[in-house]
Amino acid sequence: MRFDIITLFPELFAPFLASGVTRRAYESGQVQVRLWQPRDFAEGNYRRVDDRPFGGGPGMVMLAEPLRRCLEAIRAERAESVPAPVVLFSPIGRKLDHASVARWSESQGAILVCGRYEGIDQRFIDAYVDQQISLGDFVLSGGEVAAMALLDAVARLQPGVLHDQGSHQLDSFNPALDGLLDCPHYTRPESWQGAPVPPALLSGHHAQIERWRRDQRLEITARHRPDLINAARAAGQLSRVDETLLARLAAAQD
């Protein structure tokens, strides 16, 4: 798959693409990344890409024309019979979640537009943007951090990127865990600052360990994200044992 990123700050991506376990996805070409500087498609000596907003107000607005030219150059290079979707990172977009990341991980990729300043001329958005994505109910200085978040989430799902092929199956929100949050994890030493490792994890009893982890996932999810418990229940993913534990936890809180 290929992601083309339109950004005024392509230099921000260099260390990201060369660091950490996900770099394997970029080095192998499983996830191809091309960076595009809209200033290269702007006119005039100053290669201007922004201007003051009509109607007044603070800040500047990114010009539509350099973005359009940049987008056309990308499409010409990709030369796809089915054009890749154009994605803008924006507060009005749908929040990125595991399900959408999983879909992106099996897609042809996309053209990611990283806005800056007060935003992008709405006419470009209306004419060319197919989808808008948000990381959450907060505002970033630009779309670059959001683009990196999407790339990282997609890259780690590619075969061979993680050391353990099944590692991501145990991530929070993964369908393999019925969409629950993950359980706590422990490593050596067995006692640290007087806090021991839970005995179940030292038992060597596989079924006991898995039951402890399941109970922890249920308890943590019920405490922090009860909406995920409701979704798992609606999907018929909770057993009688699960429900008994949840009922006991609810009674303890009353």
Catalytic positions, written as ranges: 91, 118, 156, 171
Q: What are 89's strand-pairing partners?
A: 133
Give the tokens for residue 33. 């990344």
Going by their DSSP bridges, the two strands 2-6 and 109-113 should be labelled as parallel
C-alpha dihedral sign at 79, 80, 81, 82? negative
| Residue 116 CB partners (closer than 8 Å, separation 6+) | 8, 9, 50, 62, 141, 142, 143
- Please list, in sequence order, all residues whose beta carbon lies within 8 angstroms of the beta carbon of residue 161, skipping any fewer than 6 positions away: 21, 22, 24, 25, 30, 155
| 36-39-42-45 Cα dihedral, nearest 10 degrees | -150
Q: How far apart are the first and last CA of the chain?
A: 50
Q: How far apart are CA 251 and CA 254, in angstroms?
A: 5
